[in-house]
Amino acid sequence: MPVYKFHGPKRTQKSIPLSRAELHIHLTGSVRLSTVWELSRQKNISLPGNGSIAALEKVVHMSEPSTLAGFLSGFRYTSPPLAGDIVAMERVAHEFCEDISSHGVLYVEARFCPHLLVKPEGGEDSATADDILEAVLRGFDKGSADFGVTVRTLLCCIRGLPQFDKDIVRLADKYRDKGVVGIDVAGDEGHLEEGMAALFDQTVIEAYDEARKLGLKRTAHAGEVGPASCVEQALTTLQAHRIGHGYRVLENNQLYEKCLKDKVHFETCPTSSILTGAQPTDIFYHAVVKFAEDGANLSINSDDPMVTGTWIEQEYELVRSWGLNETYITRANFNAIRSSFLPDDEKKEMLKKLREVNHIHDDY
Ligand SMILES: [Zn+2]
């Protein structure tokens, strides 16, 4: 019989001031494995190996570079115990706030696709995408109040699942005053190549068009594994305000120069981009370093802590080991708030908090 023990993230220091901002983190990629394990056992959902948390960790955690598909393989164990369960989703969202707060995050935009958490078999009284989203927003509200963080939500379209795209925009519009601040498109770019005419599904293009008309903010995973033209199409066809990852923009110098000039925001995720194979480890020089040294508008993010085993502090440690000092890290935090999807007055307030915690004063 496996012995239950707490496997939540540990505080890396006794008290980290709330001083960080994260724009790219997946809620379902940040779930505590202890919660997954507990729910799986309650619901008689099969667990890998001998059924222990250690065996679950072994399947979900990644420490060696693989592919995006390999990176996501652990989700087959972590998603079923959450599917259709609004109590579980409220709990997961609340725990997320606690975890993020313990890592000193002042402001976070967490993203997920509610439709992927609807029970596939359905049923009349089963939870809808609206119910799932409401549960998450309740968890975030309660967690924000309990742990002092500010959390906003992004809703994800998923490549290859066009049936959700239109509804993502409906939900983003319906819940825009309740914490949802924009949309995203996620999913595997591995099959995409330079020169392909359409690098985003037609339904995604239509969804982004509708979102633009409704005044909803837009980010898009692009150029992580897919080619530089994914970044180009995200900026032109989707008119995205920000780019998730975007490293392969470096393969098109003209486009990269334009991104620098236009201050396009890159949501970089150092560890996960190594583990998904987006950045080969034999080239020690990571795109994040190049972006930072070129003065690009970037943030540093943890993407999927449940898989990488890293929270924001470990991401900072990694970029420090590449030679980026505190100046770059502080800049990244200010960039994140400036490029966040908060309304201007709230952004101003958040920038003020960030200045205060960094002891940056205008009066001397
Ligand atoms: Zn991502």
Q: Would you call 315 a catalytic residue per the annotation? A: no
Ligand 1 centroid to Cα of residue 64, in Å, is 18
Q: How far is the CA of 179 from the centre of ligand 1 (A)?
A: 19
Bridge pairing between strands 150-158 and 20-26: unpaired
d(C-alpha 259, C-alpha 296), whole Å: 8
Confidence of residue 363 (pLDDT cuts 50, 70, 90): low
Lowest-confidence region among 4-13, 36-45, 154-163, 301-310: 4-13
Q: How far is the CA of 241 from the centre of ligand 1 (A)?
A: 16
Rounded to the nearest whole angstrom, what is the distance from the C-alpha of residue 301 to the centroid of ligand 1?
9
pLDDT digits (tens, 9 = 90+) for 298-309: 999 999 999 999
Q: Is the dihedral of CA 95, 101, 102, 105 positive or negative?
A: positive
Q: What is the pLDDT of residues 207-258, one digit of tens each?
A: 999 999 999 999 999 998 889 999 999 999 999 999 999 999 999 999 999 9
- Mean pLDDT for the stretch of residues 144-163: 96
Cβ–Cβ < 8 Å for 267, 25: no
In a domain, 200, yes or no: yes
What pLDDT is attached to residue 4?
30
pLDDT of 359 > 60? The answer is: yes
Of the given ranges (34-48, 116-130, 135-149, 240-254), which has the lowest mean pLDDT? 116-130
User: What pLDDT sits at residue 187?
Assistant: 84
Number of domains into which the chain is organized = 1
Residue 121 lies in a domain: yes
User: Lowest-confidence range among 19-23, 285-289, 293-297?
Assistant: 285-289
How far is 217 from 344, CA to CA, in rounded Å?
A: 13
- For the chain, first and last CA: distance in Å? 63
Assigned domain for 62 exists: yes
User: Worst-scoring range by mean pLDDT, 13-17, 232-236, 267-271?
Assistant: 13-17
Q: What are phi and psi of 325, to 5 degrees?
A: -90, -170
Average the pLDDT over 172-176 and give the result.
Answer: 98
Residue 25 CA to ligand 1 centre (angstroms): 6
The mean per-residue pLDDT over the stretch 30-46 comes to 96
Phi, psi of 280 (to 5 degrees): -65, 135
Catalytic residue, chosen from 57, 224, 267, 313, is 224
Which pLDDT does position 204 carry in this prediction? Answer: 97
Tens digit of each residue's pLDDT (9 = 90 or more) over 43-86: 999 999 999 999 999 999 987 777 777 777 888 999 999 999 99
Q: What is the pLDDT of residue 362?
A: 67
Q: Which residue range forms the structural domain that includes residue 107?
A: 20-357
How many angstroms is it from 359 CA to the middle of ligand 1? 32
DSSP annotation of 10: P
In a domain, 3, yes or no: no
Q: What is the reported pLDDT for 164?
A: 97
Q: What percent of the chain has pLDDT over 90?
A: 77
- Res 295 pLDDT > 70: yes
The answer to whether residue 1 is domain-embedded is no
CA–CA separation, 183 and 119 (whole Å) = 22
**pLDDT at residue 343, as a whole number:** 97
pLDDT at 281: 59
* Domain CATH number, residue 323: 3.20.20.140
Q: How far apart are CA 82 and CA 86, in angstroms?
A: 8
Q: What is the mean pLDDT of the chain?
A: 90
Q: Is residue 8 part of a domain?
A: no
Establish if 15 belongs to a structural domain.
no
Would you say residue 158 lies in a domain?
yes
